[in-house]
Amino acid sequence: MPLKLLRKLPAGARPWSLFAHGSARSVAPLENRIEEHDEKMALADLEHSTAIARDVFLPADLTEKEAAGLGEICAQHPEISALHIARKEVLHFPEHPMYVVALTARSAWWKLRGSSSNKKLVNSVVDAISLRGNWPS
Q: What are phi and psi of 11, to 5 degrees?
A: -55, 135
pLDDT at residue 9, as a whole number: 57
pLDDT of 65 strictly over 90: yes
Residue 1: band (very low, low, confident or very high) from pLDDT cuts 50, 70, 90: very low
Mean per-residue pLDDT of the chain = 82
pLDDT at residue 12, as a whole number: 61
CA 81/CA 121 separation, integer angstroms? 12
**Of the candidates 134, 135, 130, 116, the residue with the CA atom closest to the CA atom of residue 72:** 130
pLDDT of 22 strictly over 60: no
CA 78/CA 49 separation, integer angstroms? 29
Q: Please say whether the dihedral angle defined by the alpha carbons of residues 37, 42, 45 and 47, taken in this order, is positive or negative.
A: negative
With contact defined as beta carbons under 8 Å apart, do 62 and 85 qualify? yes
| CA distance readout (Å), 13 to 72, 74, 122, 131 | 46, 47, 40, 35
pLDDT at residue 107, as a whole number: 83
Domain ranges of the chain: 15-49, 57-128
Q: Helical H runs in 21-100?
A: 24-49, 64-76
pLDDT of 136 strictly over 80: no
Most confident of 94-98, 104-108, 112-116: 94-98
More confident residue, 85 or 20: 85
β-strand partners of 100:
86
pLDDT at residue 68, as a whole number: 94
Length of the chain (residues):
137
From the options 3.90.1580, 3.30.10, 3.40.1710, 3.30.300, give the CATH code of 57-128: 3.30.300
pLDDT of 19 strictly over 60: no
